Structure 1
Amino acid sequence: MKFLYTVLFVVLLNYFTLAQEKAKLYDVIPNTAKSEVMLGEENIPVLYRYEVEGADQAVLIIPGGGYSHVAIDHEGHQVAQEFNKQGYSAFVLYYRLPKDENMQQRKIGPLQDAQRGMQYIREHYAFKKVGVLGFSAGGHLAASLSNHFKDAKIDNPQAQNLRPDFSVLVYPVISMRDSITHKGSKKSLIGADAGEKDVAYFSMDERVTKNTPPTFLVHAEDDKVVVIQNSNNYKQALDREGIPNSLFFYKTGGHGFGLHNKTDARSWSDSLFLWLKDGGQ
């Protein structure tokens, strides 16, 4: 019987996921070295729409994967469903991975898709607030969107606001400095031997300004993949600029736990929703 319930749950979960409407981000994908037919479906960015009728707030969700894959289930679809339960509309971004063979400039490809995701939401909806939430390398991309919103890498003829109203970064890659970066993410995005200009541009703790949105951070102290110093450095930068922020940290949990840290009964998402209810202060 337990097996049957498990199978039924998986079937329903897959059906729910597949039932979400998938929106094409671009009419013509920018920064490509190939035609769309040559790119293949796995290299075409899309937005999965989880809409809640009457919702006045929404979140753009960016899964992680070290810029080498997109962990779209436990850091994407499952998270969108949790936000739906709380009355938020949610949009899961399947973004392009940085590849020289597909892109003219691979380092800006993911940021283009994140900016386009925010642009798309604001073009088609009238939410009071639209935030961004990212995990791991997706956290780096969410932080990039949160700090490089004025440096549009896409066409923006209607001057849509690309700045998120709040930012949620879960075990995020923040710095591209070799002492603390996740080397796989750095290598995939800008190259292991990237120059100082690119390292500085993509080190998000160095890009924080007074216009960076309020931020909620989540990290485990024993994370060996993306060390917690990434979140600590970002929090320090936010504090220096007077940006409201909160760091929810676990003693244990490692990396990649998604919504549920199996080593700790506390729920970071419960704390997040309380923080958002209080206005992100």
Structure 2
Amino acid sequence: MPNGHNEVPFSDVEQAIRLVRQHAAEWNINPAKVGIMGASAGGHLASTLATHYTSKETRPDFQILLYPVITMDANFTHAGSRENLITKNPSADLIAKYSNELQVNAQTPQAFIALSSDDKAVLPQNSINYYLALLKHNVPATMHIYPTGGHGWGFRDNFTYKRQWTDELEKWLRDGVKL
């Protein structure tokens, strides 16, 4: 956890991408096909890397976001995620910096986004506004919204749409990712 140091998670995730690319040959990974996946607050970290990366080496080639926290706008964000990352009383600049829907540009990597429309913990506006920002900048994006499931379904076997979302993700990774 950042413990008041909002740059720590980002620094860690950039180092993780560097590490994967540095060991790509050893690990039999294509260094040009390295992505990031995150759910909920982890989705915020993944989308932060996708919109704030500092070099070609740390830019993910794609992002997979499950019911992600995207914005720090108090009207739509997950309050606990916001407080843990940027404190209870952040500056307007910090709110804007970590509202990733505001940071999308044409170099943002393509995205696969999945969520439930009945998510009360992380409101669907997080994903929808990010998706619209991606489209505005002509970034390839796929979004799947399931009618039920709430928050945190991830790989739960009892999630009604588990088979659908995992099949869609597999298809997207196989056929839809434009690398």
Aligned equivalents of 2:171, 2:87: Cα separation in 1: 39
108, 133, 136: which one pairs with 2:37?
Answer: 133
What's 2:46 paired with? 142
SS at match of 2:38: strand
SS of the counterpart of 2:142?
strand
- Matches of 2:95 and 2:8 in 1, distance apart? 16
- Where has structure 1 moved over 6 Å in runs of 4 or more? none
In the alignment, structure 2 segments of 5+ residues that lack a partner are: none
CA contact (8 A) 1:245 1:280 kept: no
Aligned: 1:191 with 2:87:
yes
The answer for unaligned runs of 5 or more in structure 1 is: 1-96, 101-105, 151-158
**8 Å contact from structure 2 (residues 155, 162) kept in 1:** no
**In structure 2, which of residues 109, 118, 126 is the aligned counterpart of residue 222 of structure 1?**
118
Match of 1:115 in 2: 14
Partner of residue 148, structure 2 = 252
State how far apart, in whole Å, the 2-side matches of 1:206 and 1:254 are: 25
What code does the residue aligned with 2:11 have?
A: Q
1:27-59 deviation digits (Å, cap 9, x = unpaired): xxxxxxxxxxxxxxxxxxxxxxxxxxxxxxxxx
| Residue in 2 that maps onto 1:263 | 160
SS for the counterpart of 1:267 is: helix
Amino acid at match of 1:272: L
Q: Which amino acid in 1 is paired with 2:36? A: V
Q: State how far apart, in whole Å, the 2-side matches of 1:164 and 1:279 are.
A: 16
One-letter amino acid of the structure 2 residue matched with residue 270 of structure 1: D
Identity of aligned residues (%): 41
Separation (CA, whole Å) in 2 of partners of 1:132 and 1:246? 15
Mapped contact 1:138–1:172 kept (Cα < 8 A): yes
Contact 2:72 2:95 in 1 (8 A): yes
Which amino acid in structure 1 is aligned with residue 165 of structure 2?
W
Choose which of 66, 72, 77 in structure 2 pairs with 1:170. 66
Q: For 1:210, what is the secondary structure of its paired residue? A: coil
Q: What are the equivalent positions in structure 2 for 1:40-51 lying under 5 Å apart?
A: none
Asked whether the equivalents of residues 119 and 160 of structure 1 are also in contact (C-alpha less than 8 Å), the reply is: no
1:135–1:256: structure 2 CA closer, same or farther, 3 Å change rule? same
Distance across 1 between alignment mates of 2:161 and 2:42: 23
Alpha-carbon RMSD:
1.4
TM-score, length-scaled by structure 1: 0.59
Please tell me the residue identity of whatever aligns with 1:172. P
The structure with the largest alpha-carbon Rg is 1
Greater shift in the superposed pair: 231-240 or 268-277: 268-277
Preserved contact between residue 206 and residue 237 of structure 1 (Cα < 8 Å): yes
Bigger relative contact order (CA 8 A; separation at least 6)? 2
Cα contact 2:43–2:65 (8 A) shared by 1: yes
In structure 2, how many angstroms separate the alpha carbons of the residues matched to 1:265 and 1:218?
Answer: 11
